[in-house]
Amino acid sequence: MEPNGKIWQAMPEINSSFIQKNPQFNRVILQLLYNRNLHTNEQIDYFLNTDFSKQILDPFLFNQMEEAVKLIIHHIKQKNKILIYGDYDADGVTASALLADTLSTLKAEVDVYIPARVAEGYGLNNKAIKEIAGNGVKLIITVDGGIRNKKEVDYAKSLKLDIIITDHHVPPEKKENLPNCLMINPAMAGEKYPFKFLAGVGVAFKLAQAIIQKSKLSADDKIKMAESNLDLLAIGTVADCVNLLGENRALVKKGLVKLNYTTRKGLKELLRAAKILPEETGKKLDAWNIGWQIGPRLNAAGRMDHANTAYQLLVTKDKDEAQKIAINLNEKNIDRQKITEEITVEVEKQIDKKSRDKIIIGICPPNLEISAWNEGVIGLVAGRISEKYNLPAIIITKTDEGLKGSGRSNIDEFNLIAVISAAGELLEKYGGHKNACGFSLKNKNLELFTKKITDIANKELKNIELMPKIKIEALVDLKEINEELVNDMEKFAPFGQGNSRPKFASYGLTVIDIKNMGYDGQHIKLRLKNENSGFFYAIGFGQAEEWKNLRLGDKIDLVYYLEMNEFNGRREAQFKIVDIKKTIKQ
């Protein structure tokens, strides 16, 4: 079972009537709008609107927001202890910091509890609840978790604790399995809040926004206070890979502005440690920086040790402490990369290259020298394996409590959390989304679980073409490409899940020049043209070996990202290579 080739999949072209209805837009830009299901003037205006206040929804549209805010205000006025129960990933940590900052500013007596990934696992647990109650807490507010913790909520209520669940994960299908408390979760059936794809930090922000609206602050101060934490919101939202259209896009776009000028000592030191601090590099941060540089460093705390480190980084007011934590997280991230690579190699040894199974399941072998794989990184390993083999992947490791697993899938036709739910009777705890899941099970259920999941995957994906697909947003003639098009395309940012940076394709290009670049010549630079255009450069970072058989004069079809290259005061459009095929002669 070797990695497959790639299928180019062009999006359906827009029709002439859509072009005629929107003459103010370039054809390529119209195609990008249409691909994002932005078909009406109202939808397009919302997407391109730069007025943040008109893009943000009223938090009181949530079914139970009014009751939740009343309960929180009651506890603030009674000077009762309020505890925010977070999660150990970047989404949960930023959500905890955001809500704690809001409540403490409004004079609440507030504390934060983040469970240990290894010792406690995801979500509420009774041991922690008992300790929390013993410390005099009267109200627990969860962020980024809790929607599947019915038993734990019942236990908390038996200890006379009030509890509010804020979450964004898929809830149990049966109503009787939902927690018996106030719940704010856009993914719930019957929830009236119109935008369904908020991250955990996004839901926490909506709760904070609602509390602020009920405060006695002036109108201007309410806006300033709500927007003061948008840098945290942007980090958590992008790091959690939720859909970046609709309200999320507006929140992240505004949050990126805040992040580029952040005054948080911890964030500044983290950016400095990653060598991406804007005031030192002169380059603005975008969603890519969060997804690949900031988020992984925050996540490294919970994966390698305890997420309290990341939380403390976000809230510290001491520069020396911030610098120390930032350096520590940077080192943990390097360790995380190394361990992820080691486990990936071990999983690949288990893969049966001749197997026709439609899912890969890697299990910590009993004969390994170490007793278990680091459960903090098995989700990353699953992601790597899934991407390489273009199959769903589940990685399972031993722990003191039993077996824990994490799954990833990039197959559109495969709903991972639904499949895991179908084997729910074999699991102690589970949760997640369509493309990612986490779970725990007892050792005795391992064989039953792997067989059931494999059978389901083989059935559901039996007739699905599983070769990797490259989705092409628009076919472009080189004569259409200019600086104006690139600038208009950049208005679609921030890019991310559901709003990917557009991939374009151009056919029948002639290779005029080929250069290898970099210290070891690992990069490739092509000079290309067609019959009707001038020259364009295409860059392939780390791709020299892949395209070593290209020759001058070859005719190629190219899939690429379009970007502006600035060098020595010159600005010109260039291509970043995604894939190349030799042009098929007609």
- For residue range 393-417, what is the model confidence (pLDDT) as tens digits? 999 998 777 889 999 998 988 999 9
* Sign of the torsion angle spanned by Cα atoms 47, 50, 52, 54: negative
The last residue of one of the domains, among 410, 440, 460, is 460
Identify the burial level of 433 via C-beta atoms within 10 angstroms of its C-beta, where 0-12 means exposed, 13-18 middle and 19 or more buried: middle
Identify the burial level of 343 via C-beta atoms within 10 angstroms of its C-beta, where 0-12 means exposed, 13-18 middle and 19 or more buried: buried
Residue 249 banded pLDDT, cuts 50, 70, 90? very high
Co-location of 476 and 456 in the same domain: no
Does 52 map to a domain?
A: no
**Residue 431: per-residue pLDDT:** 86
Residue type, 286: D
Co-location of 112 and 184 in the same domain: yes
| C-alpha pair distances (Å), 544 with each of 296, 369, 548, 560, 563 | 28, 38, 6, 16, 20
Residue 531 banded pLDDT, cuts 50, 70, 90? confident
Identify the burial level of 173 via C-beta atoms within 10 angstroms of its C-beta, where 0-12 means exposed, 13-18 middle and 19 or more buried: exposed
Q: Give yes or no for residue 234 having a pLDDT over 80.
A: yes
Structure confidence by residue, pLDDT tens digits, 83-142: 999 999 999 999 999 999 999 999 999 999 999 987 888 899 999 999 999 999 999 999
pTM, full prediction: 0.90
Query: Coil, helix or strand for 45?
Result: helix
Co-location of 168 and 211 in the same domain: yes
* Sign of the torsion angle spanned by Cα atoms 290, 293, 295, 298: negative
Co-location of 295 and 376 in the same domain: no
40 Cβ partners below 8 Å, 6+ apart? Answer: none
Co-location of 85 and 31 in the same domain: no
Contact between residue 125 and residue 148 where contact means Cβ atoms under 8 Å apart: no
Does 46 map to a domain?
A: no
The last residue of one of the domains, among 441, 460, 479, is 460
Biggest CA–CA distance in the chain, Å, is 79
- Mean pLDDT rounded to a whole number for the chain: 93
Does 184 map to a domain?
A: yes
**Residue 3: per-residue pLDDT:** 43
Co-location of 446 and 537 in the same domain: no
Q: Give yes or no for residue 351 having a pLDDT over 60.
A: yes
What's the rounded Cα separation, in Å, for the pair 434 and 414?
Answer: 8
**Residue 433: per-residue pLDDT:** 84
Strands (E), 128-194: 137-142, 162-166, 182-184
Does 251 map to a domain?
A: no
Q: What angle do CA 463, 464, 467 make, to 5 degrees?
A: 135
**Residue 567: per-residue pLDDT:** 76
Buried b (16+ CB within 10 A) or exposed e, 510-526: bbeebeeeeeeeebbbb
Co-location of 511 and 574 in the same domain: yes
Co-location of 204 and 116 in the same domain: yes
Co-location of 78 and 154 in the same domain: yes
Q: What angle do CA 480, 481, 486 make, to 5 degrees?
A: 130
Q: Give yes or no for residue 371 having a pLDDT over 90.
A: no
Query: Coil, helix or strand for 506?
Result: strand
Identify the burial level of 192 via C-beta atoms within 10 angstroms of its C-beta, where 0-12 means exposed, 13-18 middle and 19 or more buried: exposed
The CATH number of the domain where 141 resides is what? 3.90.1640.30
**466 compared with 168, residue with greater pLDDT:** 168
Count of the separate structural domains present in the chain: 4
Does 43 map to a domain?
A: no
Does 93 map to a domain?
A: yes
Co-location of 170 and 98 in the same domain: yes
Co-location of 237 and 286 in the same domain: no
Residue 365 banded pLDDT, cuts 50, 70, 90? low
**Residue 454: per-residue pLDDT:** 96
Q: Which domain holds residue 215?
A: 57-246
Does 49 map to a domain?
A: no
Does 3 map to a domain?
A: no
Structure confidence by residue, pLDDT tens digits, 3-29: 447 899 999 999 999 999 999 999 999
* Sign of the torsion angle spanned by Cα atoms 347, 348, 354, 357: positive
**Residue 356: per-residue pLDDT:** 84
The last residue of one of the domains, among 246, 270, 300, is 246
Co-location of 282 and 377 in the same domain: no
The CATH number of the domain where 375 resides is what? 3.10.310.30
